[in-house]
Amino acid sequence: MPQSSDTTSYKDIKITVLSRIRSGEWQPDSLLPNEQDLAVEFSCTRTTVNRALRELADEGYLERRRKAGTRVLSAPQRQARFTIPMVRDEVEAMGGTYRYALVSSKLEIAPEWLSARLALSSGQNVMHVRCMHFNGNTPFQYEDRWIVPASVPQVKQADFSQIGPNEWLIQTVPFTNVELSFLASRADATIAGFLDVPEGEPVFTGERITWLQGQPVTFAKMFFAAGYRMTTQF
């Protein structure tokens, strides 16, 4: 029998299981019935139960181990998922008008801290790009980025006056590994000027390092305008 209105689907099972946890019927740390028994209860196959429980475990509600069974997590290791949109999308999602402006773009010798951070050989050239992202005429983000030509040779011919380095990289280097950090930093004179805030102001800051198959591609610092907050619900 195919799934239809009167069939129990894996989504129904997820909802039911969650409500039993909420209601306290299935206490934290307690063991759930095994898949076969649940399949009988829900009048479906074990495959369907399996998918429901697998997804719930993936979402951090349950812990599953062979032979040991499925357990309600006592301190749900809820994982917050932050979608990391491109700046343009973020501004437009707020109903704003995105505008990009290049500040400077030049090839230079990698500063020592960058060489250390990206494991570059000393004295290696990097493309240093600084730019601004606006919401209308309001500063939204100041970006300070270095791109490694040894990994992305095309960068020497790239023109960042019209397209931001991030969008350019995504088009050019389709797939990468990323390390992303967020922290609070202090606006120095440069940043304060670009973001139009007093010097010394706290600035929400992102740092992003990107590799392509083990080769360092880019290091970027993103300084967000005053009042920015990164939010998620779960």
Partner DNA sequence: CAGTGGTCTAGACCACCTT
Partner DNA sequence: AGGTGGTCTAGACCACTGG
Smallest separation (angstroms) from DNA to the CB of 211: 27
Q: Which is nearer to its own copies, 81 or 156 (CB)?
A: 81
Smallest separation (angstroms) from its own copies to the CB of 115: 21
Q: Which of residues 15, 31, 40, 178 is near its own copies by CB under 8 A?
A: 178
Q: Which of residues 17, 21, 53, 110 is near DNA by CB under 7 A?
A: 53
Instruction: Decide if residue 202 touches its own copies (CB under 8 A).
Output: yes
Q: Which of residues 19, 27, 30, 36 is near DNA by CB under 7 A?
A: 36
Q: With beta carbons less than 8 A apart as the criterion, state whether 136 and 97 touch.
A: yes
Q: With beta carbons less than 8 A apart as the criterion, state whether 184 and 202 touch.
A: yes
Spatial distance between the Cα atoms of 194 and 173, rounded to a whole number of angstroms: 28
Instruction: Decide if residue 16 touches DNA (CB under 7 A).
Output: no
First to last CA, the chain: 34
Give me the DSSP letters along 153-189. GGGGG--TTTS-HHHHHHHHS---EEEEEEEEEE--H
Say how many residues make up the chain: 234
Pairing of strands 98-109, 125-135: antiparallel
Cβ partners under 8 Å of residue 162, min gap 6: 100
- The binder of 154, among DNA, its own copies, none, by C-beta within 5 to 8 A per type, is none
Smallest separation (angstroms) from DNA to the CB of 176: 25
Q: Which residues bind DNA (CB under 7 A)?
A: 1-5, 7-12, 32, 34-36, 43-48, 50-51, 53-54, 57, 64-70
**Chain residues that interact with its own copies, rule: CB under 8 A:** 18, 21-22, 24, 27-28, 72, 74-86, 89, 167, 170-171, 174-175, 177-186, 200-205, 207, 213, 227-234
